[in-house]
Structure 1
Amino acid sequence: MEIKKIRDLTLIDIDKEYTMVVACDSCGGIGMKEGDTFKVPTVYVARFAVRVAIMEVICAGAEIVTITNAVCNEMNNTGIEVIKGIKEELKMAEIDSVVLTGSTEENFKTISTGIGITAIGMVSKDEVKVNSAAGEAALISIGIPKVGAEIDFVKDNSIVDYSTIYRLLKHKDVYEIVPVGSKGIAYEAKELAKNNGHKLNFKDNILVDVNKSAGPSTCIIAAVNQEKINDLKKDFKKVNVIGLMV
């Protein structure tokens, strides 16, 4: 059994045909408890925490088979709200909620919200989209980096959605997709290029803040066929060219 660590993913070769993809995320001090630093309804905290792990797994081309939630609080009512939020996000991602399992803290009283999420997916080895950028490629971003109170927790059309991810995964001119988190577009773009054996030349006058945190994966970057940039701009909204891998 071969195990590889790439970016925030763990890839485990199960057999000659399939690879398991594992990603996780955690969230603490955000919620409605007395000790929380940032007051947000728990259902939204759970939605965006599980979103990060889901995005990591599906962008690698894998199908989610299990989601675990480690709620560091009581079931009633923090755990109930967490489960509700996770199920809402799974529905948005078109994932059956039967994959969900988890645990809560019933022995001790807690004064701040804590959630740990792990997502596990399976993918055929010939369909893994990790370190799969073919030769020289352009890097694009879709979605706007946002974090914390900048996000409309009910609906935010500037955040990249799951339907866009699924369309990108099927597009022949899209080689690899990476969700962007707190380290920002520039960091993830340089890492993507390096992991594919390339250097990145950033474009001048980029129309998005490449150093800003994207919080719960509010945007993605993708390595694409540089000759098809104009076509991709027609097919997808809010596409920004970040640079070229050389």
Structure 2
Amino acid sequence: MPDNKRVRDLTLVDLGQQTLIIGCDSTGAVGPKSGDQLQVSGELLGRMIAVVPIMEVMASGALPVAIIDTLSVEMHPTGENILNGIKKSIEEAGLPLSLINGSTEENFPTSQTGMGVTVVGVAERNDLRIGSSVDGDIVYLVGKPLVGAEVLDKPRLVAGIKTLRYLLEVTEIHEILPVGSKGVDYELKLLAITAGLSFEYLLGADKVDMQKSAGPATCVLATGEREAERYLKELHLPVTPIAILKPDITF
């Protein structure tokens, strides 16, 4: 039976020379229905929620091979609009739309939107980037932690799929970790632990709300050499060096 383990927000299934990477995200009370607490279009909702697991899986070094949507709404019109948003995120990631499968709620009428997206990816063992940070790496925060209506109001501060694809091509960047609802500080600690390292905050860290939710992964942590900063500046996004990775001296 294949060995599996939980690493950060991902499930890793060891298949020998390859590893199956599974990520997911969900939301409720956000959407176009009368009972939703935050009113957004179905298309925008689908786009935002699909971004999170797509980015998490791709950041690990895996190639998505299946994207599953579980929509707690009717197919027409709400589900169809959500699917249009999911498809836009898939296309932005440079992936084929044939990866999509899923289901909707056709038995009962709903007054509030709920949905989930699961992404399954495959990586060659040597291509995995999880835990690839090294002693001396600078941890950069790219983008800003935003949540709720802020995501709609400040799109130029959001590091999305296009940002991730760019970072994956920069040789000087070792590891990329999308920040989720638990905030920058939480993800930074996980990143260091996974690499078997500790960290020291830099002066730039005091410019960031380290505890704030980043909603649908509006920012990412990128680790790498100091030379990497010049490539990050080409993104035209906020880039803040927040920590330096150091050997773990705990016993």
Following TM superposition, by how much is the alpha carbon of 1:119 offset from its aligned partner in structure 2, in angstroms? 0.3
Which whole-Å CA distance do the structure 2 matches of 1:234 and 1:75 have between them? Answer: 42
For residue 186 of structure 1, what is the aligned residue in structure 2?
185
Secondary structure in 2 matching 1:160: coil
Show the counterpart of 2:159: 160
Alignment of 1:189-204 (within 5 A): 189-204=188-203
Partners of 1:233 and 1:122 in 2: CA distance: 27
Q: CA deviation at 1:19?
A: 0.9
Q: Secondary structure at the match of 2:111?
A: coil
| In structure 2, distance between residues paired with 1:229 and 1:61 | 19
CA distance in 1, matches of 2:143, 2:105: 36
Deviates more, 1:20-29 or 1:71-80: 71-80
Inter-CA distance 41–234: structure 2 relative to 1 (3 Å threshold): closer
User: What's 1:13 paired with?
Assistant: 14
TM-score by length of 1: 0.93
- Cα distance between partner residues in 1 of 2:82 and 2:124: 31
1:61 is matched with which residue?
Answer: 61
Structure 1 spans left out of the alignment, 5+ residues? none
Quote the Cα distance in structure 2 between the aligned partners of 1:45 and 1:233: 28
Match of 1:219 in 2: 219
- Return the alpha-carbon distance in structure 2 between the equivalents of residues 232 and 189 of structure 1: 21
Q: Which runs of 4+ in 1 moved over 3 A?
A: 229-237
Superposed counterparts of 1:135-146, under 5 Å: 135-146=135-146
Identity of aligned residues (%): 35
Q: 1:190 to 1:77 in 2, by over 3 A?
A: same
TM-score between the two structures when normalised by the length of structure 2: 0.91
- Ranges in structure 2 where 5+ consecutive residues have no aligned partner: 247-251
Q: Identify the residue that residue 103 of structure 1 maps to in structure 2.
A: 103
Cα distance in structure 1, aligned partners of 2:163 and 2:73: 34
What letter corresponds to residue 166 of structure 1 in structure 2?
Answer: R
1:3-152 superposed matches below 5 A = 3-15=4-16, 17-152=17-152
| SS of corresponding position for 2:157 | coil
Task: Give me the whole-angstrom Cα distance separating, in 2, the residues matched to 1:230 and 1:53.
Answer: 26
RMSD: 1.7
